[in-house]
Chains A and B, each alone.
Chain A
Amino acid sequence: MVDDVSATITYVIDKLKTRVGVEGPPVTMTVEAGHVRGFVEAIGDPNPRWRKEAPPTFLVALAPPSTHVGDAEEWGKGWLNGGNRFEYFAPVMIGDQITSKGHLADVYDKAGSSGDLLFIIFETNYTNQRGELVARLRGTLIRR
């Protein structure tokens, strides 16, 4: 079940580094009431506010960060999520059309207690149908 370790960490870092700062293809999705309902039900958040508005972490459901990091899977056996930082500039409402544009912000390795760790920092900017920047997400993914 574990992926073959077929590339060295240096090879993968060099490959990913060529993509740092390069914006990926934009993804536009409508914030659908049923999608938001499924999301808040999974969290167990019954706040009626989410019948009209998307909750703070919903943005991740519009553009999975995995789209940036396929190449990293040539090395290591698994992923960890290191952290996420969201900044909010305007509310995201049901019915909004949100365009996500993401890029790798940084790639580096660190020696961990049980081997090397590969850190991938990505950033995604979210704009609505009026072209307003509504949120920004910065995330740390760790390949081990």
Chain B
Amino acid sequence: MKVTVGQELPELVKHPTTRQLVQYAGAQGDFYEIHYDQAYARSVGLPGVILHGLLKAGFLAQVVTDWLGEKGTLEAFEVSYRGIDEPGHPYRCRGRVTRVQGQKAELEVWGEDESGKRTTVGTATVTLAT
């Protein structure tokens, strides 16, 4: 696979719903109420229910594994959650190659809300198959 610095990964636009948050809560086993109980979420100062950080991490990992396919191996994946996101709004998941050295490549990945604010940012390290 030809990988060059600056190359963008195909983006994914997600359309999360509260139903999806409940599905994710069950699948991960994270039943913290801020992800499905509106009244509880507001009682702790949130505008309403919010996406799990790890669901956004799952979206960004998908951007990487869709692009990488079987042409390489994911060595490390790191995400920081910088802002909250509510269901009912599109979430744009993107990535870009930042460094290539031999068979190793570094990527930056990020998730943007509707205003373009990067509410999740991260990196991935991959080893490309020879």
State the A residues within 8 Å of B (CB): 1-2, 35, 38-39, 41-45, 47, 49, 55-57, 60-61, 64, 66, 77-88
Contacts and interface: CB of A to CB of B under 8 A. Distances in A.
A60 B57 CA distance: 11
A42 B24 contact: yes
Interface of B: 14, 20, 23-24, 26-30, 32, 34, 39-40, 43-46, 52-55, 57-59, 61-62, 64-66, 70, 73-81, 122
Given A44-B14, A66-B30, A80-B81, A57 B61 contact: yes
B23 A64 contact: no
A39 B27 CA distance: 5
A79 to B, nearest CB: 6
B62 A45 contact: yes
A42 B20 contact: yes
Contact of A43 (B40, B43, B58, B78): B58
Q: Is the interface of A mostly helix, strand, loop or mixed?
A: mixed
A18 to B, nearest CB: 25
Contact of A44 (B20, B29, B39, B44): B20
Contacts of B70: 49
B42 to A, nearest CB: 9
Given A39-B27, A39-B28, A55-B65, A87 B44 contact: no
Contacts of A66: 30, 32
20 contacts: A39-B24, A41-B23, A41-B27, A42-B26, A42-B27, A42-B55, A43-B55, A43-B59, A44-B59, A44-B62, A47-B62, A56-B74, A56-B77, A57-B58, A80-B81, A81-B81, A82-B80, A83-B79, A83-B81, A86-B76
Residue from the set B30, B46, B62 with the largest chain A CB neighbour count within 10 Å = B62
B66 A47 contact: yes
A43 B62 CA distance: 9
A87 B73 CA distance: 11
A1 B43 contact: yes
B65 A64 contact: no
B17 to A, nearest CB: 10
